[in-house]
Chain A
Amino acid sequence: MIIDVISAFFILLGALFFLAGTLGLLRFPDVYTRLHALTKSDNVGLGLIIIGLMLQVDSWLVAAKLLFIWFLVLLAGAGVAHLIASTAQKRGLKPWKK
């Protein structure tokens, strides 16, 4: 029972981070700032949801697979963020200034 509450907490918090990521994508002014919002909040959101789900699964194999999925998304997210940022700069996109 108590595990259910904890895992529900993690999943709901994760969903909140996904909302933050989407809002950041819609509200932030340029590519670089949107990259910030996307990579950070999405990875945290997915991580929290995966922790919440890992508390519920019955075999360690499934838990390990969930962790592996998170690891892949983390790797891909960070790598792609850096690639897009560096290409944006090479193509001459100026960062937004206040």
Chain B
Amino acid sequence: MNTLYLAVALFLLLTLIAGMWRILHGPTPADRMLAAQLFGTTAVACLLLLSQALEQPALRDIALVFALLAAVTAIAFVKRAWLKKSDES
């Protein structure tokens, strides 16, 4: 069972790295932010699998924090950093 958990965690890490292409290539700021969002969710799943496989319950708490933080950065982005259209062109 543990082998399965670790294999799936590795697979999720790979999809996460693939998703990084979107952070690098945009094109709009929203796309980059979305990719960071995906990063958060995937990391949550990855951490939960690792926590089960390595028998480290503390990792679940980290997953919890990850789940909360994804929202914080996204809200900061929407409220503050997304430049108004009138500023851009």
Contact = CB atoms under 8 A, between A and B. Distances in A.
Direct interface between A and B, CB < 8 A:
yes
Interface of A: 4, 7-8, 11-12, 14-15, 18-19, 21-22, 25-26, 31, 34-35, 38, 42-43, 45-46, 49-50, 53, 56-57, 62, 65-66, 68-69, 72-73, 75-77, 79-80, 83-84, 87-88, 91-93
B62 to A, nearest CB: 10
Nearest to B28: A31
B19 A66 contact: no
Given A22-B19, A31-B34, A46 B44 contact: yes
A91 B85 contact: yes
Contacts of A49: 8, 45, 48-49
A69 B19 contact: no
Interface in B9-42: 11-12, 15-16, 18-19, 21-22, 28, 30-31, 33-35, 37-38, 41-42
A38 B48 contact: no
Given A31-B34, A83-B75, 4 more contacts: A38-B38, A57-B52, A80-B74, A84-B74
Interface of B: 1, 4-5, 8, 11-12, 15-16, 18-19, 21-22, 28, 30-31, 33-35, 37-38, 41-42, 44-45, 48-49, 52, 57, 60, 63-64, 67-68, 70-71, 74-75, 78, 82, 84-85
